[in-house]
A = this chain, B = another copy of it.
Amino acid sequence: MPSKTALALAVSCFTLAAHAASVGEIVKASKPADWRALDPDNTLYMELPSGRVVIELAPEFAPQNIANIKLLAKEHYYDGLAITRSQDNFVAQWGDPDEKNPKSIGSAKAKVKGEFAVPMASDTQFVRQKDIDGYAPQVGHSHGFPVGRDPKAKTTWLAHCYGAIGVGRDNGVDSGSGTELYAVTGNSPRQLDRNITVVGRVVWGMPLLSSLPRGTAPMGMYEKPEQQVPIKSVRLASEVPEAERSHLEVMRTESATYAAVVEAQRNRHTEWDKYAANHVDLCNAPIPVREQAAR
């Protein structure tokens, strides 16, 4: 049926479309300098039975929480834990399923200062997106991450877009530590912005989290231990042998090429499109990621 193709053409980031301004063509015409490789010291591999989820960390925005998460990963804290929750249109969450005999957190901290927003001076490479947003006075991208920004309060924060990774916490602002993490798997819950620490985003393998069966207990918790998804390991990429690494690159959000990508999302001009919104929500402007060509 041709309509399958037609619908997809209009929205798939990497599908070529009829006009010069399409995202697919922009990506195709991009130059090597428009891309950056992931930093192995700020990339996590979460190994699930179904494959690898690659997470890019954003040390500019949550340095203390990220330091603790890296320590937990280095000491193999996450190995053998599980995804315990999958709530439809919201998050998948993982941590220690054994509440009675919790695993030792080794030399990591049990509580880390909440880093819900950082001084605006931290958002180097910030490129403002001109679109209005209900959750932030300004939005844009910094270091490859979607961010909100308040020039009056002089703060910037990572936005809860699809794929964002956050630090579960209790009611206390400083009660999280990275032992419980979640990934956004539904409509971007921007109401969580400035309420919880975001540490990065999934750049590869998102379907391994988003297509998990939903838990049927309240809040999407899995009812039975056997429904939980075991975590084989979480490793910093720099601690994985070179040959076993995922070689990914992300489009530089400070590049003119990415500005063109955003504009192509703002006003779509394929043959399929009949109405150009002249707007794109922060979380509807995808940040292209691709596998590096063989080196």
Instruction: Kindly state the separation between the CA atoms of A88 and B193 in the bound complex, as whole angstroms.
Output: 23
Interface residue? A96 (CB, 8 A): yes
Query: How far apart are A232's CB and chain B's nearest CB, in angstroms?
Result: 20
Interface residue? A207 (CB, 8 A): yes
B3 A180 Cβ-Cβ under 8 A = yes
Contact of A6 among B8, B169, B191 (CB under 8 A): B169
Instruction: Kindly state the separation between the CA atoms of A20 and B194 in the bound complex, as whole angstroms.
Output: 23
What sequence of 0s and 1s flags, for each residue 83-125 of chain A, a beta carbon within 8 Å of any chain B beta carbon?
A: 0111111110101100100100000000000001000000000
Binds B, one of A29-37, A54-62, A276-284: A276-284
Query: How far apart are A180's CB and chain B's nearest CB, in angstroms?
Result: 5
A219 B3 Cβ-Cβ under 8 A = no
Contact of A272 among B1, B171, B220 (CB under 8 A): B171
Contact of A161 among B88, B134, B187, B265 (CB under 8 A): B187
Please report which residues of chain A, range 145-195, place their CB below 8 angstroms from some CB of chain B when the two chains form the complex: 161-163, 168-171, 173, 175-176, 179-180, 182, 186-195
Q: How many A residues touch the partner, as a band?
A: 35 or more
Q: Supply 22 A–B pairs (Cβ within 8 Å), ascending by A.
A: A1-B96, A1-B168, A1-B180, A4-B95, A6-B175, A7-B91, A7-B168, A7-B180, A8-B218, A12-B87, A15-B218, A89-B163, A89-B206, A132-B134, A173-B274, A187-B188, A187-B283, A191-B265, A191-B268, A193-B275, A194-B275, A195-B272
Q: A8-B218, A10-B192 are in contact. List 14 more A-B contacts (CB 8 A).
A: A8-B219, A11-B90, A11-B191, A88-B211, A89-B206, A132-B134, A135-B277, A173-B274, A186-B187, A191-B277, A191-B284, A207-B214, A211-B212, A211-B213
Which residues of A are interface residues toward B (Cβ below 8 A)?
A: 1-8, 10-12, 15, 84-91, 93, 95-96, 99, 102, 116, 131-135, 161-163, 168-171, 173, 175-176, 179-180, 182, 186-196, 206-207, 210-214, 218-221, 265, 268, 271-275, 277, 279-281, 283-284
